[in-house]
Amino acid sequence: MTAIAGQGGGRQGSAETLAPLLSIRGLTVRYGPITALDGLSLDVGAGQVISIVGPNGAGKSSLLAAIAGTVKPAGGQVTFKGQPTIGQPLEQTVRRGIALVPEGRHVLASLTVLENLRLGATIRRDTAEAAREIEGFFKTFPILGERRNKSAGRLSGGEQQMLVIARALLSKPTLLMLDEPSLGLAPKITDQIYAMLASIREAGVSILVVEQNAARALRVADRTYVLNGGIIRMSGTEAELSGNPDFEAAYFGLAPRGGAQ
């Protein structure tokens, strides 16, 4: 898995000519009568950062859930490293190299900070190396180091977010997916988290991030997709989208194809 991750990073330069790391075609997710995603297609190339923006109820979390396997799509294909992922057991997701940091963080509150991180490395057999990485993380974030044996549920929201991102990274993912990592956090903490994402990217990990804060989403990503009413309304780079009136229209569902509101 590590070797594949390394290759992914190395091929970054010629990503155009290769099959994308993650490829989604015609993905549809329904909850009873509600259609959350309606035939969505997008690609994430190796080493790329892709962001998804959209209002509440746009289908952003449903997209990540369908990729991760916590929701069974009603139709469409998800291909990761050339392999179809839909219908595989949930515990395979992280073994393939996909790590999800879900909406609402989900630290395991009954475990300590250290145990949360150990659990992040639970699929690995190089326990000693994982332990070194955990120590390294504690050096970078001394507040968490001091609380390593305290319940993770007692941490502040920002600390919990740092912890779940670190926990996800300990599985050595090829693709890191984050669902609104800055939700409910102070701007300073959000800056820290986005600085962390920048260094994760440096390490060659591809990132798919869902964000309601459009300015952030544009700045961090190689390409941003606007999702509304379960449909991609628009996509482009920061240069193409920021300040573009169509972008705002798409975001608020005023695009020609009609939106949620």
Partner 1 sequence: MIDPAQILIDAVSVGGLYALTALGIGLIFSVMRLANFAHAELVTVAAYMLFAFSGSPVAVAILVAIAAAVLLALATERIAFRPLRGADSATLLISSFAVSMFLQKLLVFLVGSRPKALDPLPALSRTVSIGSLQVSALKLVTIVVCLTLLAALTAFLKWTRFGLQMRASAENFTMSRLLGVRANAVIAIAFGLSGLLAAVVAVLFAAQSGFVQPRFGVQIVIIAFVATVIGGLGNLFGAAVGGFFVGVVTILLQAFLPAELRPFREAFLFVIVIAILLFRPQGLFPARNLKERV
For Mg ion, the closer of residues 61 and 161 by Cβ is 61
91's contact among ligand ATP, partner 1, Mg ion, none, with CB below 5 to 8 A by partner kind, is partner 1
Structure tokens at 65: 């859930």
Strand partners, 37: 29
Bridge-partner residues for 175, per DSSP? 98, 206
- How many of the chain's residues bind Mg ion (CB under 5 A)? 3
The span from the first CA to the last CA of the chain, in angstroms, equals: 43
Query: Parallel, antiparallel, or unpaired for β 98-101 and 175-179?
Result: parallel
* Amino acid sitting at position 258: G
Q: How far is the CB of 35 from ligand ATP (least distance, A)?
A: 8
Find the shortest distance in angstroms from Cβ 206 to partner 1: 18
194, 4 in Cβ contact below 8 A? no
Q: Which residue's CB is nearer to Mg ion, number 133 or number 179?
A: 179
User: Could you say which of 48, 51, 61, 206 contacts ligand ATP (CB under 6 A)?
Assistant: 61
80: which 2 tokens?
A: 């990761």
Rounded to the nearest 5 degrees, what angle is found at the Cα of 235, between the Cα atoms of 177 and 10?
Answer: 50
The CB density around residue 90, as the number of other CB atoms within 10 Å, is 9
5 binds ligand ATP (CB under 6 A): no
Q: How far is CA 175 from CA 22, 33, 75, 129, 169, in A?
A: 8, 31, 22, 20, 10
Span from 28-36, 112-120, 157-165, 235-243 in contact with ligand ATP (CB under 6 A): 28-36
Query: How many of the chain's residues bind ligand ATP (CB under 6 A)?
Result: 13
Task: Report the distance separating Cα 55 and Cα 226, nearest Å.
Answer: 9
- Least gap, CB of 90 to ligand ATP (angstroms): 16
Q: What is the contact surface with partner 1 in residues (CB under 8 A)? A: 68, 70, 89-91, 93-95, 99-100, 102, 104, 106, 108-111, 115, 118-120, 122-123, 153, 167, 171
Q: Determine phi and psi for 117, rounding to 5 degrees.
A: -70, -40
Q: Which of 23, 48, 51, 61 binds Mg ion (CB under 5 A)?
A: 61
Residue window 162-201: x/- pattern of binding to ligand ATP, with contact defined by CB under 6 A: ----------------------------------------
Task: From 73-81, 95-103, 143-151, 191-199, give the range in contact with Mg ion by CB under 5 A.
Answer: 95-103
CB 219, min distance to partner 1, A: 28
